[in-house]
Amino acid sequence: MTTIAYSKEHAQIACDSQTTDGSVIVSNTTKKWFNTRCGSRVFSSGDTLDIYAFEQHYKNGAALPTSMNLVKYIRITPGRVFYGEVKGGVLKEEALTTSHAIGSGDKYALAEMTRGGDARAAVQLSSELDTQTNDNIHTFCTQCARKTQSCKCRQSISINISPNPLLLKSLA
């Protein structure tokens, strides 16, 4: 299946990229998220066809098939994180107020985050212990919903708190 981890402390979501069919790996580069028209990013775990049906529902308003097996998901809009479940044509979503993980490697990810690890470290540990999770890991900032590489949130924080060398010079 997969591992998707949300660390509240680090304002970070991480996911792996593996798709498995039974005991066979069919892809190492699966994108485990989709973007919605209202600016959300949705990370989901479940069977491939069920996730596809869920994505069509979210994007285009297609009806949720009643035959659907359980899909769990984590959704971010900038600054807010939600946890949801979809099954048998029913969708339930609520605000996520603690760190959380979903997918086949969820327990390992939760253990790592309980020990203080960030979401990326959580998925990394899952990839070492869960055969259905790989170490092709993508990370996202929950403050801006961007990929960590293009996020400016932490950068602007560090600029604000680091001393201004020009100011220090003028004070000396």
Q: With contact defined as beta carbons under 8 Å apart, do 139 and 120 qualify? A: yes
In the complex, the smallest distance separating the C-beta of residue 144 from Zn ion, rounded to whole angstroms, is 3
Q: Does 56 bind Zn ion (CB under 5 A)?
A: no
Report the residue number, 91 or 144, with the smaller CB distance to Zn ion: 144
Q: Does 153 bind Zn ion (CB under 5 A)?
A: yes
Residue type, 4: I
- Paired tokens of 171: 């004070």
Q: Which stretch binds Zn ion (CB under 5 A): 37-45, 62-70, 99-107, 135-143?
A: 135-143
In the complex, the smallest distance separating the C-beta of residue 15 from Zn ion, rounded to whole angstroms, is 16
Q: Does 151 bind Zn ion (CB under 5 A)?
A: yes
Q: Which of 57, 139, 144, 163 is the binder for Zn ion (CB under 5 A)?
A: 144
Q: Which of 28, 143, 155, 171 is the binder for Zn ion (CB under 5 A)?
A: 143
Q: What does the alpha-carbon distance between residue 134 and residue 1 come to, in Å, rounded to a whole number?
A: 10
Q: What does the per-residue mask of binding to Zn ion show for 92-131, with x meaning CB under 5 A?
A: ----------------------------------------
Q: With contact defined as beta carbons under 8 Å apart, do 142 and 13 qualify? A: yes
Q: Which stretch binds Zn ion (CB under 5 A): 51-59, 97-105, 125-133, 144-152?
A: 144-152
Q: Does 1 bind Zn ion (CB under 5 A)?
A: no
In the complex, the smallest distance separating the C-beta of residue 41 from Zn ion, rounded to whole angstroms, is 12
Q: Does 141 bind Zn ion (CB under 5 A)?
A: yes
| Residues contributing to the site for Zn ion (CB under 5 A) | 141, 143-144, 151, 153
